[in-house]
Amino acid sequence: MTRPTLEVPVDSLESAILAAPFSTRLELCDDLVSEGWTANMRMVERIRSVVDTHLVAMIRPRFADSPLTLTVESFMATKRVMDASTQEIRAAAAAGANSVAIGLLQADGHVDMNACGELAELACTLKLEVAFLRTFDLLSDRARGMRDITALGMKRVVTAGVLGWDAAAATIEQRLAVLRNDSVNAKAAADVNFATRMKSGAEIKNAGACDPVEIVPGGGVRASNAAQFMSVSPHLHASCRRNGVFNIDEIRLLHSSMNPAR
């Protein structure tokens, strides 16, 4: 049985220290109120110096004129974005991150395979795991998207199981149905990827190299609904915030609900 994992996005040293004992991974970012941007690498270094938890560095460069909208157009690759993302991935590795999370898209609503491929390849050379951001929910074709991120070697993807960014646009039951379909697509994509690599004679370096992309439900995940999301996946993503502020009671409750006493 797969052990439950909890990924918690944090944007401060204080919340990272509070969340670490209850988390499998911390996603480090800046300004969670606007859904997060690349974290200050000095903060990543400070967090690394005080916690042993797996650290995921969000890679979403922010500029003075960066759009705050959460649409496909806001996550497209430009030379400026690619140059900054490359620098940030290198800096994240140097600061002690274990993973990076990327999610660049094309104008047609598909994964930008060239841009994400370039960034993923760099991350892998730096011994970093690569995950896909919740921009997956902006894709026009989730099945194709799963095939794409599988081909890119993504370890996991955060998704609310909705089309768009507003998780409240669908009921939990509707979201669970989408997430279950994502899981089916992830398994099918992994099988095809493995068969293709075997046929081409590509080296399979470890037993988990062709495992399905892990589906990590996020978007309003709380202790009160964790069991429902865990019926689809043992991997959850939750900010554990109340009134916009990280709340230690919420993460304690969520951790307990994910790990009931045996």
68: Cβ contacts below 8 Å, ≥ 6 apart: 34, 74
SS3 217: strand
> Residue 206's pLDDT is what?
46
243: Cβ contacts below 8 Å, ≥ 6 apart: none
198: Cβ contacts below 8 Å, ≥ 6 apart: 204
Token pair listed for 150: 């599988």
Per-residue pLDDT of the chain (262 residues; tens, 9 = 90+): 689 999 999 999 999 999 999 999 999 999 999 999 999 999 999 999 999 999 999 999 999 999 999 999 999 999 999 999 999 999 999 999 999 999 999 999 999 999 999 999 999 999 999 999 999 999 999 999 999 999 999 999 999 999 999 999 999 999 999 999 999 999 999 998 777 766 665 554 444 457 999 999 999 999 999 999 999 999 999 999 999 899 999 999 999 999 986 5
The H or E element spanning position 173 is helix 172-200
> Residue 231's pLDDT is what?
97
> Residue 196's pLDDT is what?
72
DSSP, res 105: B
Quote the radius of gyration of the chain (alpha carbons, Å).
17
Which residues on adjacent β-strands are paired with residue 7?
25, 237
**Spatial distance between the Cα atoms of 9 and 21, rounded to a whole number of angstroms:** 14
Token pair listed for 23: 């988390």
Domain segments of the chain as ranges: 5-258
Q: Which CATH architecture has domain 5-258?
A: Alpha-Beta Barrel (3.20)
CA dist list (Å): 105 to 72, 135, 187? 6, 8, 23
Question: Residue 70 class from Cβ within 10 Å (0-12 exposed, 13-18 middle, 19+ buried)?
Answer: middle
Output the pTM of the full model.
Answer: 0.94
